[in-house]
């Protein structure tokens, strides 16, 4: 039963899972890149990113490239550790 507790509710959605997976292997990714990879709509991606941001698993950095606003996401050490734990728990559950 204790393994179940390691399954993190915050990652219990395809988009959130995807965002974390991408940010685990990339230093950062901007909004459009995430949208492209995940095939999500603007609103959908924004709300899931917000949820992860609230947990302090990712940080958002807003800046301007020329005149265009650009939103960059990256995973925090806390987020990386939590996601790693989540993957381990998934793998353990599958082994059973």
Partner 1 sequence: MESKKYLEDISEIKDMMRKSSRFISLSGLSGVLAGIYALIGAWLAHRKLQEIIAVDYTDVFGSSSVKIETDYIYNLFLIAMGVILLAIATGILLSARKAKKVGDKMWDDSSKRLVINFFIPLFAGGVFSIALLQQDMYGLVAPATLIFYGLACLNASKYTLGDVRYLGISNIIIGLISTQFIGYGLYFWALGFGIFHIFYGALMYFKYDRV
* Strand-pair partners of 74: 59
Nearer residue to partner 1 within complex by CB, 59 or 90: 90
Looking at 1, 43, 68, 94, which residue binds partner 1 (CB under 8 A)?
A: 94
The contact pattern for partner 1, residues 9-48, with x = CB under 8 A and - = no contact, is -----x--xx--xx-xxx--x---x--xxx----------
Q: Which of residues 52-91 bind partner 1 (CB under 8 A)?
A: 87, 90-91
- One-letter-per-residue 3-state SS of the chain: CHHHHHCCHHHCCHHHHHHHHHHHHCCCEEHHHHHHHHCCCHHHHHHHHHHHHHCCCEEEEEEEECCEEEEEEEECHHHHHHHHHHHHHHHHHHHC
Contacting positions for partner 1 (CB under 8 A): 14, 17-18, 21-22, 24-26, 29, 33, 36-38, 87, 90-91, 93-94
């Amino acid at each position: 039963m204790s393994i179940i507790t390691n399954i993190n509710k915050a990652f219990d959605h395809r988009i959130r899972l995807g965002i974390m997976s991408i940010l685990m292997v990339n230093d950062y990714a901007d909004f459009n890149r995430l949208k492209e990879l995940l095939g999500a709509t603007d609103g959908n991606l924004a709300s899931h990113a917000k949820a992860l941001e609230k947990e302090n698993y990712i940080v958002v950095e807003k800046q301007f490239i020329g005149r265009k606003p650009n939103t960059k996401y990256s995973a925090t050490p806390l987020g990386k550790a939590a996601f790693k734990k989540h993957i381990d728990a998934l793998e353990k559950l599958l082994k059973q």
